[in-house]
Amino acid sequence: MSHPRLAFEPVSRHALRQGFNQLAKAMAVALGPRGRLVAVSRDNSRRAPELLADGATIARRFIGLPNRFESMGALLARQVAWQMEEAVGDGATTAVVLARAIVNETDRYLAAGFNAMRLRRGLERAADAVSAELGRLARPLDSPDLIRALATSITGDETLGRSIEEVFDVVGPYGAVDVRTHFGRGHAVRFINGVAWNQGWASSYFTTDGGTAILKDPYLLFTDHTLTEAGQLLPILEAVRGAGAQGLVVIAPEIRGDALNLLVTNKVRGSLPTLAIKAPGLGPEKTEVLHDLAVMTGGRVIVAEKADRVEAATLADLGRAREVQAIRSGFTVIGGKGRPAAMRERSRRLRSQIPTAAYGRERNRLVERAGKLLGGMALLEVGGVTESEHEFLKERVSEAVHVVRLGLQDGVVPGGGAAFLACRSVLEQLDLPEEEQPGAAILAHALSAPMTAILENSGIEPEAILATVCSRGDGAVYDVMTGEYAEGAAATIVDPVKVLQMALETAVSGALMAVTTSVLVHKPRSNRSKEVDFRP
């Protein structure tokens, strides 16, 4: 007799596959330029539903299925999407669609009696071969038309596509780009001769105009000390006042107590314009960002580990800038007076760390910091009619900026699933042991899944299109918007190669977790109320 909280084969395998397929199906409808939206109700029933066209966000909104064992399969699919989002910020739907095809095809082989671990080894070796072939197919993203087409395919708006191409033409592949919403229906691009970070003033008493604190031509003090005593800042305040400067900005991880009161008193009484800002970043990153700011402004950081004392700081230790602005949630340094050669060198050092950095926050922050050291940033303001449209467009534009940046850094391959199709010939030539060969056949079948989903979302029968694209060679793509084929340099439908390589790796890993699981164990929360449990 089976236990209600245990499931063994074949029930376990079937439940995992069913759950995986259900979430994958919900995500797949958003794939491609003609993908549709998924509406998700909000906790507040009076607000309009959230409109989603991004697979990772759709997966994040998933809570569970009525069947507890199918929920486990759906949560595995959500984990695949989440890994992609964390790693490269795009390609979540492609990874889940690939994984679904691998799971379903592998299930057929397992039902026929093939060994799961042999299939696993074959799949892993086949995936390595496909990833290498994707790298061979990559070409630089060096054409404005390609950049514009890639951005437009993600945002679904040609105006936004042109704006993103303009932004990267100015700031380059490592430039700092900030995406924000603004009141209005149109979109706007602004270029700031400075850098902005997301930490604001430490007290509203520093504000000078409508919630904004503005200091002209100030000195800047950078330290990783926690400032709590007035005595820490008195000497440097006297030195700045004696130099006839127009103000002092203090940036540190923590500024409170008497130290904060001293700065506020100087500001309120008009003795010396002052501003206290909390250092941006998390943990040890705070000190690194302080060093970035010091290089940009020509100062140095008073570091606690080196036994530097804030009381001993001199005017030579301080940075200078043309203007510093701060609001509650962020600050901007404009016209930093650091040496250009020093800024270029520090930016170069940060860029050299990017290839070895883990995908996700670590890599993104290195790109952001390197871009800001170049001395300017682009602000892309997205407009809309409703709150839902604002949120939707901001997410799409942020994703487009991230994807275009990856393409500029690592190159692109034919898009729309065509690059995966072009790699099937490599699997036909792959020499594997006889028991592992079905793994290559499974992956070859799965590689057509992304293009199939895009075509089906466009209302097109996929079989004939797939056959034609395969017969035309490596550079051929099919444009579902125009119904035409394109080849080689004429094809403006591209995907960043790094996104596809990561999608393949994540899909194979997630699918293998599902197909090599034989037993499911459901552990109920001890504090869950049976009256509100939505599962049987």
Give me the amino acid identity at 57.
T
The domain boundary residue, chosen from 338, 365, 388:
338
Whether 399 shows a pLDDT value over 80: the answer reads: yes
Structure tokens at 313: 């700081």
* 220 shares its domain with 297: yes
Q: For residues 263 and 237, give the distance between their C-alpha atoms in angstroms, rounded to a whole number.
A: 9
Position 426 in a domain: yes
Residues in contact with 136: Cβ distance below 8 Å, sequence separation at least 6, in sequence order: none
Q: Are 73 and 20 in contact (CB under 8 A)?
A: yes
* Cα dihedral across residues 169, 173, 176, 180: positive or negative: positive
Reduce the DSSP state of residue 327 to 3 states and report it: strand
Q: Are 53 and 35 in contact (CB under 8 A)?
A: yes
Q: Are 29 and 35 in contact (CB under 8 A)?
A: yes
Q: For residues 21 and 334, give the distance between their C-alpha atoms in angstroms, rounded to a whole number.
A: 51
Instruction: Give residue-wise pLDDT tens across range 287-321.
Output: 999 999 999 999 999 998 888 899 999 999 999 99
Bridge partners, residue 223, by sequence: 302
- Counting every residue written for the chain, the total comes to 536
**DSSP-based helix, strand, coil % in the chain, nearest 5:** 50, 15, 30
Instruction: Give residue-wise pLDDT tens across range 308-361.
Output: 899 999 999 999 999 999 998 889 898 888 888 898 899 889 888 887 887 777
Structure tokens at 419: 């690059």
Binning pLDDT at 50, 70 and 90, where does residue 526 land?
low
pLDDT the model gives residue 529: 52
Q: What would the mean pLDDT of 6-10 be, rounded to a whole number?
A: 84
Reduce the DSSP state of residue 127 to 3 states and report it: helix
pTM of the complete model beyond 0.75: no
* 103 shares its domain with 157: no
* 10 shares its domain with 120: yes
Element (H, E) at 479: strand 477-479
Position 499 in a domain: yes
Instruction: Give residue-wise pLDDT tens across range 133-186.
Output: 999 998 888 888 888 888 888 887 888 989 999 888 888 887 778 888 877 778
The domain boundary residue, chosen from 338, 365, 399:
338
Position 350 in a domain: no
Residues in contact with 533: Cβ distance below 8 Å, sequence separation at least 6, in sequence order: none
Q: Are 377 and 196 in contact (CB under 8 A)?
A: yes
pLDDT the model gives residue 146: 84
**Nearest C-alpha neighbor of 97 from the set 338, 400, 365, 416:** 416
Structure tokens at 246: 């127009």
User: Residue 321 sits in a domain of what CATH number?
Assistant: 3.50.7.10
Q: Is 437 exposed, middle or buried (0-12, 13-18, 19+ CB in 10 A)?
A: middle
Q: Are 189 and 380 in contact (CB under 8 A)?
A: yes
* 17 shares its domain with 93: yes
Q: For residues 517 and 155, give the distance between their C-alpha atoms in angstroms, rounded to a whole number.
A: 38
- Which single residue is written with the structure tokens 């970043």? 281
* 131 shares its domain with 151: no
Q: For residues 44 and 191, give the distance between their C-alpha atoms in angstroms, rounded to a whole number.
A: 37
User: Residue 117 sits in a domain of what CATH number?
Assistant: 1.10.560.10
* 200 shares its domain with 334: yes
Q: Are 254 and 278 in contact (CB under 8 A)?
A: yes
Q: What is the DSSP string of 151-210?
A: HHHHHS-HHHHHHHHHHHHHH-TT-EEEEEE-SBSS-EEEEESEEEES--BS-GGG--BT
Long-range contact set of residues 456-460: C-beta below 8 Å, sequence gap at least 24: 457/28, 457/29, 457/31, 457/32, 457/34, 457/35, 457/36, 458/32, 458/33, 458/34, 459/34
Give how many domains the chain has, as a whole number.
3
Position 457 in a domain: yes
Q: Are 91 and 499 in contact (CB under 8 A)?
A: yes
pLDDT the model gives residue 509: 93
Q: What would the mean pLDDT of 395-401 be, rounded to a whole number?
A: 85
The domain boundary residue, chosen from 276, 310, 338:
338
pLDDT the model gives residue 78: 93
Position 352 in a domain: no
Position 208 in a domain: yes
* 484 shares its domain with 422: yes
Q: Are 326 and 213 in contact (CB under 8 A)?
A: yes
Q: Which domain holds residue 284?
A: 196-338
* 160 shares its domain with 213: no
pLDDT the model gives residue 156: 79
Position 92 in a domain: yes
Instruction: Give residue-wise pLDDT tens across range 492-513.
Output: 788 889 899 999 999 999 999 8
HSE-up of residue 153 (Cα within 13 Å, Cβ side): 23
**Nearest C-alpha neighbor of 60 from the set 74, 48, 46:** 74
pLDDT the model gives residue 533: 46
For residue 9, which phi and psi values (nearest 5 degrees)?
A: -60, 145
Position 532 in a domain: no
* 453 shares its domain with 479: yes
* 420 shares its domain with 300: no
Q: Are 416 and 451 in contact (CB under 8 A)?
A: yes
Whether 1 shows a pLDDT value over 70: the answer reads: no
User: Residue 406 sits in a domain of what CATH number?
Assistant: 3.30.260.10
State percent of the chain over pLDDT 90: 39
Question: Which tops the pLDDT comparison, 446 or 535?
Answer: 446
Q: What angle do CA 379, 406, 279 make, to 5 degrees?
A: 50
* 165 shares its domain with 233: no
* 303 shares its domain with 204: yes
